[in-house]
């Protein structure tokens, strides 16, 4: 039976969980709905607007996670919603009409929900103010209706998007499922990576690397090192490599992560790729300025490993790689030594 969360304040706030939505993503949405309900019940309109914006952002990020994107806390709200909307709009499927008038309605819903960023800036929480702005019922409920409309559309389309993913493997990787020797290698072979869609290949690469960064040796060996040691794109396709590279630097909780092991493997994942510089630059943008729970000593060792592995990079990626090294050097030398500044 489909799991449902209903907001008592508005009949329109009723969401059905897509079958392929991650447990953690659904739990996050439930918590935000609870906060939203509480804020409305307390007539704290400013807090309710802030919660509504967070709920839309949470659903958008859940879409990108299923799509195989590595999400960073640095990504701004309108950009996240636009990327999620674009991914869902292009997804074919039964009952997902492509008629122009309906696409226009969906696009209008996206345009409305992205205005929540500005509405929150003016009326919502998250800013210290000399005076509280007056937030009328109309401002609140128009905002909530816009959020509800877009989220309903997104969740319905997410169901079809998730159906194309090897969900059980991804779930086991991200939720601590057990892996004995040869299991991951066998399941990746069974997934037939080269025949999967690009989004599926990326999603698997991300999930494998993020689980490997939790220190699971067998995942490190069979999902990352085996790929790094091979230049074969037929066996280890480019989207998988890109996803794995990003997963070595950004955790499933959107925080930067790094280790001496990942620093030794990262460049080798990119060796046969033609757009390695773009991939590295993208990661730099997602981790810059974010705190990372790594000691100064580890960061110094990471710099050494990154520097020593630069010769594995394809031509044209050297400048971007050096920028990444300088970013880690700056964190290592900084007083807090915990921010990729």
Lowest mean pLDDT among 16-20, 59-63, 143-147: 16-20
pLDDT value at residue 59: 94
Among 202, 225, 247, identify where a domain stops. 247
Same domain, 83 and 14: yes
Considering the chain, what percentage of its residues have pLDDT values greater than 70? 87
Q: What is the spatial distance between Cα 244 and Cα 183, in angstroms, rounded to a whole number? A: 18
Would you say residue 272 lies in a domain?
yes
Q: What is the spatial distance between Cα 224 and Cα 123, in angstroms, rounded to a whole number? A: 46
Contacts of 161 (CB under 8 A, 6+ apart): 20, 63, 66, 67, 87, 88, 91, 199
pLDDT value at residue 156: 85
Pair of tokens at residue 265 = 């493997």
Same domain, 8 and 114: yes
Among 221, 247, 273, identify where a domain stops. 247
Q: Tens digits of per-residue pLDDT, 243-293?
A: 999 999 999 888 999 999 999 999 999 999 999 999 999 999 998 888 778
Q: Single out the residue of 172, 64, 154 nearest to residue 106, CA to CA.
A: 154
Q: Are 201 and 169 in contact (CB under 8 A)?
A: no
Q: Are 327 and 284 in contact (CB under 8 A)?
A: yes
Q: Tens digits of per-residue pLDDT, 212-232?
A: 999 999 999 999 999 999 999
Same domain, 214 and 302: no
Same domain, 130 and 270: no
Q: How confident is the model at residue 1 (pLDDT cuts 50, 70, 90)?
A: very low
What is the reported pTM? 0.68
In Å, what is the CA distance from 194 to each residue of 230, 234, 279? 15, 6, 20
User: For helices 276-287 and 238-247, what crossing angle results, to 10°?
Assistant: 30
Same domain, 128 and 39: yes
DSSP 16: E
DSSP 127: S
Same domain, 121 and 154: yes
Domains contained in the chain, number: 3
The three-state secondary structure class of 140 is helix
Q: Are 73 and 49 in contact (CB under 8 A)?
A: no
Same domain, 70 and 88: yes
Same domain, 319 and 231: no
Would you say residue 30 lies in a domain?
yes
Would you say residue 316 lies in a domain?
yes
Average confidence (pLDDT) over 11-29? 78
Pair of tokens at residue 61 = 């990020």
Lowest mean pLDDT among 96-105, 151-160, 177-186: 96-105
Q: Single out the residue of 215, 225, 232 nearest to residue 179, CA to CA.
A: 215
Domain that holds residue 277: 258-341
Same domain, 96 and 122: yes
Q: What is the spatial distance between Cα 91 and Cα 209, in angstroms, rounded to a whole number? A: 26
- For residue 4, pLDDT over 70 is answered with no
pLDDT value at residue 6: 46
Same domain, 88 and 203: no
Among 134, 163, 192, identify where a domain stops. 163
pLDDT value at residue 246: 96
DSSP 19: T
Same domain, 311 and 180: no
Would you say residue 253 lies in a domain?
no
Q: Single out the residue of 244, 249, 234, 150 nearest to residue 192, CA to CA.
A: 234
Would you say residue 53 lies in a domain?
yes
Most confident of 141-150, 182-191, 305-314: 305-314
Would you say residue 242 lies in a domain?
yes
Q: Tens digits of per-residue pLDDT, 53-77?
A: 999 999 999 888 877 777 777 788 9
In Å, what is the CA distance from 140 to each residue of 119, 120, 132, 149, 152? 10, 10, 15, 14, 18
Would you say residue 252 lies in a domain?
no
Q: Are 194 and 234 in contact (CB under 8 A)?
A: yes
Same domain, 171 and 33: no
Coarse DSSP helix, strand, coil percentages of the chain, rounded to the nearest 5 percent: 65, 5, 35
Contacts of 65 (CB under 8 A, 6+ apart): 22, 25, 71, 252
Average confidence (pLDDT) over 95-105? 68
Would you say residue 62 lies in a domain?
yes
């Amino acid at each position: 039976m489909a799991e449902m969360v209903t907001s008592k304040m508005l009949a329109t706030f009723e969401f059905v969980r897509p079958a392929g939505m991650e447990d953690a993503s659904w739990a996050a949405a439930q918590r935000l709905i609870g906060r939203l309900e509480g804020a409305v019940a307390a007539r704290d309109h400013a807090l309710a607007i802030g919660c509504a914006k967070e709920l839309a952002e949470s659903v958008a990020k859940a879409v990108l996670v299923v799509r195989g994107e590595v999400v960073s806390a640095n990504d701004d709200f309108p950009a996240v919603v636009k990327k999620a909307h674009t991914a869902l709009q292009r997804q074919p499927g039964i009952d997902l009409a492509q008629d122009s008038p309906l696409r226009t309605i969906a696009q209008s819903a996206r345009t409305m929900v992205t205005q929540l960023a500005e509405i929150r800036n003016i009326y919502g929480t998250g800013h210290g103010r000399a005076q509280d702005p007056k937030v009328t019922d109309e401002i609140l409920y128009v905002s909530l209706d816009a959020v509800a409309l877009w989220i309903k559309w997104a969740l319905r389309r997410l169901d079809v998007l998730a159906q194309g993913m090897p969900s059980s493997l991804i779930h086991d990787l991200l939720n601590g499922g057990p892996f004995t020797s040869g299991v991951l290698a066998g399941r990746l072979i069974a997934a037939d990576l080269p025949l999967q869609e690009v989004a599926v290949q990326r999603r698997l690469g991300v999930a494998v690397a993020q689980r490997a960064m939790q220190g699971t040796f067998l995942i490190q060996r069979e999902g990352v090192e085996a790929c790094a040691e091979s230049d074969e794109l037929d066996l280890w396709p480019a989207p998988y490599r890109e996803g794995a590279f990003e997963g070595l630097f950004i955790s499933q909780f959107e925080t930067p992560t790094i280790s001496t092991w990942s620093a030794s493997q990262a460049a080798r994942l990119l060796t046969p790729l033609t757009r390695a510089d773009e991939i590295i630059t993208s990661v730099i943008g997602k981790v810059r300025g974010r705190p990372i729970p790594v000691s100064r000593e580890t960061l110094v060792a990471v710099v050494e490993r990154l520097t020593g592995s630069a010769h594995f990079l394809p031509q044209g990626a050297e400048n971007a790689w050096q920028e990444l090294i300088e970013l880690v050097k700056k964190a290592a030398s900084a007083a807090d030594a915990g921010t990729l500044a």
